[in-house]
Structure 1
Amino acid sequence: MRSKRNKTIDFSLEEASPELLEQILQPIKNIRGTRDKIINGDSFKVMKKLSPHQVSLALIDPPYNLNKQYDGLNFKKMTTEEYQEYTQKWINLLKPLLKDNASVYVFSDWATSISLAPVLAQNFTIQNRITWQREKGRGSQKNWKNGMEDIWFLTVDPNKYTFNVDRVKQRRQVVAPYKKDGVAKDWQATSTGNFRDTMPSNFWDDISIPYWSMPENTGHPTQKPEKLLAKIILASSNPGDFIFDPFAGSGSSLVTAAKLNRHYLGIEQSLLYCAWGQYRLNQVKNDQTIQGYTDGVFWERNTLAAQRKVMRHKN
């Protein structure tokens, strides 16, 4: 029997309401100009039908080059050359959709990243490689536990792109505050604690993967956290911009975009994952919170009590 604290979204298609399933778009009719929808279909076919030059930010979380099952659909590990061809194929379909000042973020594990890098460099300007310490990972007796993933930050134009550094600062608790002439230096003394809002780096150690007690958690095997996606969306887009995800999974990027007042479009081949994503989108109007993002900043792990204290004080 499931614990009352377990908030995982993993209902079956038989349990989904007809009204919910009707909200998911099927790419049968003209879908040019479509926004704020999940499309159930094959990305390699659907992208050909979309309007060009509309995407400000693309979030790409393709199957990593591993043997993996997604709702009964198997992705089989390829040779390096085959995976690079696969990558170039979706890039060729994506590029016409992008605005001239668009940014693209591509997720990968360390091994897949080696294959991705030369293909990405041929098609975009690589601005940075972010390392996400996702913490959870299977232990190994013969190798180091894999607790990291790469996120490639790419732009269409090397100089013309959005980056809102002030919207993605991280708030750290000050343990040993330094004062100069009795005044706090580079930190703030408040009634709720001592804090420093720091500039974001390319090493992200403040984000856990979704787990069973979080409302955003689903049964998807490789779900990305809303907090992680919020960092990217806030940094590399503005309110009202158009966010695109051709491998949408259970809709985390779309939900986060909606919570942050962006337009969005996602494509996902599993109808079940689409249903989970649409269910989550329907909750946004009642709940726009993003765990770990409070008071306009991102917080370290295990600081929920401090975040609540700040919000109680503000309210």
Structure 2
Amino acid sequence: MKARAPQNRTIDLTDAERAVFLQRLISLDCEQLPEEILNKTICQDVFEALPHLPKNFVDLLIVDPPYNLTKNFNGSKFRQCDRPTYTAWLDSWIAQLKAVLKPNASAYFCADWATSTDLYPVLEKHFTVRNRITWEREKGRGAQANWKNASEDIWFCTVSETYTFNVEAVKLKRQVMAPYRDLAGQPKDWDDSGSKNYRLTHPSNLWTDITVPFWSMAENTDHPTQKPEKLVAKLLLASSNPGDVVLDPFLGSGTTSVVAKKLGRQYVGIEQDTDYCCLAEKRLALADTDPTIQGYADGVFWERNTLVAQRRPKKSMSLET
């Protein structure tokens, strides 16, 4: 376990915890029934696991694949390649994933600006592409000879014309800077019950309220491309219902499974790195005692840096058993 500063809340694994969580991981060598893999972490290469997944059992697919960048994932390097090679790689597993989805399923695919241009034509071949979400990823150093990359995309796709979209579940609570009242003097489309005035607004495809996990956040890990729980919570609440099955074939440190558990969904995660799988299992165990999601409180999503959205109890990160 790494030495951390006193206020650093990054989730680590002790040797004892790793031994415990290794016992919870599974791998697949034959076709499975849904009940055999639900709420499990599959520690396996995605191409080895996909042929053994049940058909038509997933309600929501969330995919955060390696972008076409050279990146070190705990010693395993994904290397940048030419665009035709990367596009062929995308198509090789996206084509297989469609078979596990229900006819009314939805799917979200993450990408950076360059990967988006390769990903879109592949998605258009297999799904109905309904929208592209762009979210502000305000983290990292500035570029000296180019514009700083401070955004990423999420492509929203469906299998058919019938799908779930719970708009009321994903409204954003924004502070009203110039409130106005009706003729009776009552707040018009805003709430004046607190010390500040707020309005619930419809979700758009431009997200500026996301905080990328960092050292003082309880969800933070050392995974190099970890997505925020708040971001995944928006996708789950919009496009699934309690009890639905959520699949993430590139699970990383477990954010999709953890958020699914916190929001009452069932989950299946696939990840080839053993340490990341164990981190996912630790985070799932922590969710039993802390089901909160930073930035999501009182049934609504709050603007970034809103005080109520930052309230989260500090808990011990040790789960040795």
Question: What TM-score results when the alignment is normalised by the length of structure 2?
Answer: 0.92
- Residues 120 and 126 in structure 1, CA contact (< 8 A), matched pair in contact too: yes
Q: Secondary structure at the match of 2:102?
A: strand
Matched, 1:71 2:81: no
| Offset, 1:2 | 2.2
Unmatched segments (≥5 aa) in structure 1: 309-315
1:229-271 deviation line (CA, Å, top 9, x unaligned): 0000000000000000000000000000000000000000000
Alignment partner, residue 21 of structure 1? 22
1:265 and 1:136, CA in 2 relative to 1: closer, same or farther beyond 3 A? same
- Residues 294 and 307 in structure 1, CA contact (< 8 A), matched pair in contact too: no
| Offset, 1:17 | 4.0
Q: Secondary structure at the match of 1:143?
A: coil
1:117 and 1:5, CA in 2 relative to 1: closer, same or farther beyond 3 A? same
| Offset, 1:16 | 3.0
CA distance in structure 2 between the partners assigned to 1:69 and 1:39 by the alignment: 21
- Residues 192 and 306 in structure 1, CA contact (< 8 A), matched pair in contact too: no
Unmatched segments (≥5 aa) in structure 2: 312-321
| Offset, 1:38 | 0.5
Letter in 2 for 1:141: Q
CA distance in structure 1 between the partners assigned to 2:10 and 2:126 by the alignment: 38
Q: Secondary structure at the match of 2:89?
A: helix
Question: What TM-score results when the alignment is normalised by the length of structure 1?
Answer: 0.94
CA distance in structure 2 between the partners assigned to 1:304 and 1:191 by the alignment: 13
1:169-191 deviation line (CA, Å, top 9, x unaligned): 00011122111221111111103
CA distance in structure 2 between the partners assigned to 1:195 and 1:185 by the alignment: 11
1:85-142 deviation line (CA, Å, top 9, x unaligned): 1111111210110000110100000001111111111111110000010111331111
Matched, 1:108 2:111: yes
* Residue among 186, 205, 210 paired with 2:208: 205
| Offset, 1:305 | 4.3
Q: How many residue pairs align between the two structures?
A: 306
Letter in 1 for 2:301: F
1:24-76 deviation line (CA, Å, top 9, x unaligned): 11335664321001110011110110110000000010100011111111111
- Residues 187 and 194 in structure 1, CA contact (< 8 A), matched pair in contact too: yes
* Residue among 161, 167, 170 paired with 2:169: 167
Q: How does 1:197-236 map to 2 (within 5 A)?
A: 197-236=200-239
Q: Secondary structure at the match of 1:74?
A: strand
Letter in 2 for 1:177: P
- Residues 32 and 49 in structure 1, CA contact (< 8 A), matched pair in contact too: no
CA distance in structure 2 between the partners assigned to 1:195 and 1:307 by the alignment: 16
